[in-house]
Amino acid sequence: MSFSGWLEIPVESAFLKKGPLKLARKTFSVPEKAPQSIGWLSLEKKVFGEGFGGNLFFRKGSPNRSSQKPEKENTEQVYLSLGSNAGDRRHNIEGALKELAHTEGVGVKAVSMLYLAAPVDMPDGTEPFLNCVAEISCTLDPLALLDRLEAIEQKMGRAGKGQNAPRTIDLDILLFGGRTIGSARLTIPHPRMERRRFALEPLAEIAPDVIHPVLGVAVSRLLEKVRDQEVASTGERPALPLSINHV
């Protein structure tokens, strides 16, 4: 049985030197250009049976948050839902996060665990969705962000917006700061988020106290109303892009 995920431990620069590093009685290679400062050492691990191996990456910050630059005054905190039920679902989500991280005006700040959920309003036998929520800092206006999300979806092979079609990647804006928007193309907050546990569960994981700007209720309280829906955490987190800039 295989497993992939993140193990993160606080380390000092004394541990960051060229050559092998012993960790949990296993040996890993240290990147030649590891920064000489205190922070978090991230091990992207792949486990096969009793042994595991992988690559070490360094970044500052808390385990599920990327390094952050000071934000511009016009930056909004935005929460996105990412889902996939076609192909390599985890790979698709990580690919979308990478695309976001290389978008001008966008910085990926935090990503939830991955959750499995049955597809909604799709034919029987449709593959379950793998979902997560990402917090981004954004200087784009809402429609410009929507344009970028749709471009990422198309680049990754999504053929259209048909509700009953399997989705290589599905990217939705849940919350855009405290804004409310209603137009032909975009509704913010997402018009169905308060009824969908697969959106609320990962959102509450990383932002439980965020208030729904229309309902005036914290995300954690909205989640309590949809606990009967079947959603299961995988216990794994998608790899957070390490090259974060643009904001």
Catalytic residues: 158, 167, 170, 172
Among residues 130, 195, 191, the alpha carbon closest in space to that of 166 is found at 130
AA letter at 105? G
Helix (H, G, I), strand (E, B) or coil at 112: coil
Q: Is 70 left (phi over 0), alpha (psi -120 to 50) or beta?
A: beta
How many Å apart are CA 170 and CA 67, to the nearest integer?
26
Cβ neighbors of 170 (< 8 A, separation 6 or more) are: 81, 82, 83, 84, 129, 153, 158
Among residues 247, 207, 83, the alpha carbon closest in space to that of 152 is found at 83
The residues facing 133 across adjacent strands are: 81
